[in-house]
Structure 1
Amino acid sequence: MTKLSVNVNKIATLRNSRGGNVPNLINVAKDIEEFGAEGITIHPRPDERHITYQDARDLKNIVTTEFNIEGNPIQKFMDLVLEVKPTQVTLVPDAEDAITSNAGWDTIKHRDFLKEVIATFKDNGIRTSIFVDADIKMVEGAALTGTDRIELYTESFALGYSKGDKNSVNPFIEAAKIGHSLGLGINAGHDLSLDNIKFFKQNIPHLLEVSIGHALICESLYLGLENVVNMYLNRLK
C-alpha cells in the first residue's frame, strides 16, 4: 500500500491567523493518526508563518507514525532536523518568500551540495528524500547524491488531469520506473486531491508515499477530516 502522510501546515496557518492555540495543532495531528493516516508532514519556513520550529519539536513527542519534515536545507533548518530527528527529511529548494513549493531540485547543478547535506542526515539515522520534477535527468542526478528517495513534484500532473489530459501522468510513470531501477524509493506530492489521487496511484509504479495537505484540509471543510482521511486511504489501496 501507498502510505498517506498528511501535511498539517494549513492547520497551523488557521491557528496563527488569530493567535492563541485554536485549532490545536497537536490534537489535530493525533486525530489524523487515529483516523488512519500513516504519517504527518510539516514544512516549516524561515519566517515560521505557519508551522513554527517549536511545532516541530512538539510534534516529535506525539507522532507515532512516520514524521516527515520538508524544507530548504539552510543551516537553521538543518539544525532543527538534526535536533528533532524525524523519520524522514524531504529537501525542497524553495525560496524564503515562496508561497508554496514550485520546482524540484536541479540535481546535477547542486549535486555536491546535496551529497553533503544528505550524508549529514543519513549519518544521524534520518531517511532522506529529494523533491524533483518528473525529469529523467533529474531523477538520475538524484541517484548520484546518495538520497534514499525522491518526491515527485506533481503539480503539472494535477493541472493536466483537471483539464482532462490523462497523458499528463506519463512523465511520472517513467520517472518512477527509472527511479526505482536506480534504487530510489518513490514518494509524490503537490496538488494531489480526492479527484486525482486514485488515477495517480493506479498508474504510478512503486509509489511508497504521498504527502497531501492543502487539498485534504480544504476538502475536510465540506466533508469532515475523519471522512476525508479515510476517503484518501480507500483510494490509495
Structure 2
Amino acid sequence: MTRLSVNINKIATLRNARGGNMPNVLQSAIDIEGFGAQGITVHPRPDERHIRYDDVRALSKSVTTEFNVEGNPTAKFIDLVLETKPDQVTLVPDAEDAITSNAGWDTRKHHQYLKEIIQVFQKENIRTSIFVDSNPEMVKYAKNTNTDRVELYTEAYAKKYKNNKKDAIKDFLKAAQMANTLNIELNAGHDLNLENIEYFAQKIPNLKEVSIGHALICEALYHGLEHVIQSYIKKLQ
C-alpha cells in the first residue's frame, strides 16, 4: 500500500492570516494522524509565510507517524533538519520567493552538491529524497547522489489527466521504471487529488508514499478532513 503523508502548510497559512493559534497546527497534525494518515509533511520557507521553523520544532516532538520536512537545503534549513531529526528530508530546489515548488532538481548538474548534503543527513539516520521531474535521466543521475528516494513532481500529470490519463502517466511510468531498476525508492507529490490519485497509484510500480496538501485541504472544506483522508487511503490501497 502507498502511504499518505499530509502536507499541513495550508493549515498554517490559514492560522497566519489572522494571527493567534487558530487553527492549531500542532493539534491539526495530531488529528490528521488520528484520522488515518501515515505521515505529516511540512515545507518551511525562509519567510515563514506558512509553516514556521518553531512549528517544525514542535511537530518533531509530537508527530508519531512519519515526519517529512521539505525544503531547499540552505544553511538554515540544514541546521533545522539536523536539530529536529525528521524521519525523512525531501530536498526541493525552490527559490526563496516561490509561491510553490515548480521544478525538480537537475541531478546531473548538481549531483556533487546533493551528494554532499545527503551525506550529512544520512549520517544522522535521516532518510533522504530528491524532488525530480518525470525524466528518467534525472532519476538516473540521482543514483550518483546516494539518495534513498526520489519524489516525482506530478503537476504535469495532474494537468493532463482529465484530457488523456494514459498520456499523462507515460513519462512518470518511465521514470518509475528507472527508479526500480536502480533500486531507488519512489515518492510522488504536487497537485495530486481525489480525482487523479487512484489511477496514478495503480499504474506507478512500488510507489512508497504520496505527499498531498493543497488539494486535500481544499477538498476537506467541502467533505470534512476525516472523510477526505480516509477517501485517499481507500484509493491508495
How would you bin the TM-score normalised by the shorter chain? Answer: over 0.9
Q: Is the 8 A contact 1:160 1:166 kept in 2?
A: no
Q: Aligned partners of 2:160, 2:218: CA distance in 1, in Å?
A: 20
Letter in 2 for 1:110: H
Question: TM-score, normalised to structure 2's length?
Answer: 0.99
Question: For structure 2, which runs of at least 5 residues remain unmatched after alignment?
Answer: none
Q: How does 1:1-237 map to 2 (within 5 A)?
A: 1-237=1-237
| 3-state SS of 2:228 partner | helix
CA drift at 1:163: 2.8
CA drift at 1:162: 2.7
CA drift at 1:167: 1.3
Deviations 1:80-118 (A, max 9, x none): 000000000000000000000000000010011000000
CA drift at 1:155: 0.3
Q: Aligned partners of 1:170, 1:180: CA distance in 2, in Å?
A: 15
CA drift at 1:165: 4.0
Q: Aligned partners of 1:133, 1:182: CA distance in 2, in Å?
A: 17
CA drift at 1:183: 1.3
TM superposition outliers: structure 1 runs of 4+ over 2 Å: 162-166
Question: TM-score, normalised to structure 1's length?
Answer: 0.99
Deviations 1:125-152 (A, max 9, x none): 1000000001011000101101000000
What percent identity do the matched residue pairs reach?
Answer: 63
Letter in 2 for 1:233: I
| 3-state SS of 2:105 partner | coil
The aligned length equals 237
Letter in 2 for 1:120: V
Q: Aligned partners of 2:8, 2:77: CA distance in 1, in Å?
A: 18
CA drift at 1:168: 1.0
Deviations 1:140-197 (A, max 9, x none): 0101101000000000000000333431101111111110110100000000000000
| 3-state SS of 2:62 partner | coil
- Superposed CA RMSD: 0.6
Q: Aligned partners of 1:9, 1:165: CA distance in 2, in Å?
A: 28
Deviations 1:184-223 (A, max 9, x none): 0000000000000001011000100000000000000000
| 3-state SS of 2:45 partner | coil
Q: Aligned partners of 1:214, 1:156: CA distance in 2, in Å?
A: 16
